[in-house]
Chains A and B, each alone.
Chain A
Amino acid sequence: MELLYNTERLVEIIGDFLQSCKGYGIPEWVLTLGGGVVVAVIIAGFIAVNTLILVLAERKVSAFIQDRLGPMRVGPWGCLQTVADALKLLQKEDITPKKADRLIFFLSPIIVFAPAVMAYVAISWSPKIRVADINLGLLYIFATGSLGTLGIILAGWSSANKWSLLGGMRSAAQIISYEVALILSVIGVIMLSGSLNLENLISCQKDCWYIVYQPLGFLLFLVSAIAETNRAPFDIVEAEQELVGGFHTEYSAMKFAMFFLGEYASVFIASALCATLFLGGWQPVPGLPAVVPPIIWFLAKCYLIVFIIMWIRWTYPRIRVDQLMGFSWKFLIPLGFLNIGLTGFIMAIRG
Chain B
Amino acid sequence: MEIAFYILAGMAVTSAILVVSLKNLVRAILALASLFLSIAGLYILLSAEFLGLVQILVYIGGVILLFLFLIMLTENLFEKNKVNLFQRITGVGLVLLLFSIIISIFMKQPFQAIPKTDYSIQELGKHLLTDYLVPFEVVSLLLLVALIGAIVIAKKEENK
Contact = CB atoms under 8 A, between A and B. Distances in A.
Question: Do A and B touch each other in the complex, judged by CB within 8 A?
Answer: yes
Interface of A: 29, 101, 103-104, 107, 134-136, 139-140, 142-147, 149-150, 153-154, 156-158, 165, 168-169, 172-173, 175-176, 179, 194, 196
A168 B4 CA distance: 33
Nearest to A149: B65
A157 B62 CA distance: 17
A143 B68 contact: no
A150 B72 contact: no
Contact of A146 (B27, B56, B72, B122): B56
Given A29-B4, A143-B61, A196-B121, A103 B54 contact: no
A176 B65 contact: yes
Contacts of B30: 104, 107, 154
B42 to A, nearest CB: 15
B19 interface: no
Given A143-B61, A154-B30, A179-B61, A165 B53 contact: no
Nearest to A171: B65
B66 interface: yes
B57 A143 contact: yes
B26 A172 contact: no
B61 A153 contact: no
A103 B30 CA distance: 11
B69 interface: yes
A103 B27 contact: yes
Q: Which has the most chain A C-beta neighbours within 10 Å: B26, B50, B66, B122?
A: B26
A165 B72 CA distance: 8
Contact residue range for chain B? 20 to 34
Contacts, number: 81
Question: Which are the 10 A-B pairs with shortest beta-carbon distances?
Answer: A146-B61, A143-B56, A172-B69, A139-B53, A143-B53, A143-B57, A172-B65, A157-B72, A153-B68, A29-B3
Interface in B131-151: none
27 contacts: A29-B1, A29-B3, A29-B4, A101-B24, A104-B27, A140-B53, A143-B53, A143-B54, A143-B56, A144-B56, A145-B61, A146-B57, A146-B62, A147-B56, A147-B60, A147-B61, A149-B61, A150-B33, A150-B68, A153-B72, A154-B26, A156-B72, A157-B26, A169-B69, A172-B69, A173-B69, A176-B62
A146 B58 CA distance: 9
Secondary structure of the A side of the interface?
helix
Contacts of B57: 139, 142-143, 146, 179
Nearest to B33: A150
A100 to B, nearest CB: 12
Contacts of A29: 1, 3-4
Given A143-B56, A176-B65, A104 B49 contact: no
B64 interface: yes
Given A139-B54, A149-B65, A158 B26 contact: yes
Contacts of A179: 57, 61-62
Nearest to B59: A146
Interface in B23-80: 24, 26-27, 30, 33, 49-50, 53-54, 56-57, 60-62, 64-66, 68-69, 72-73
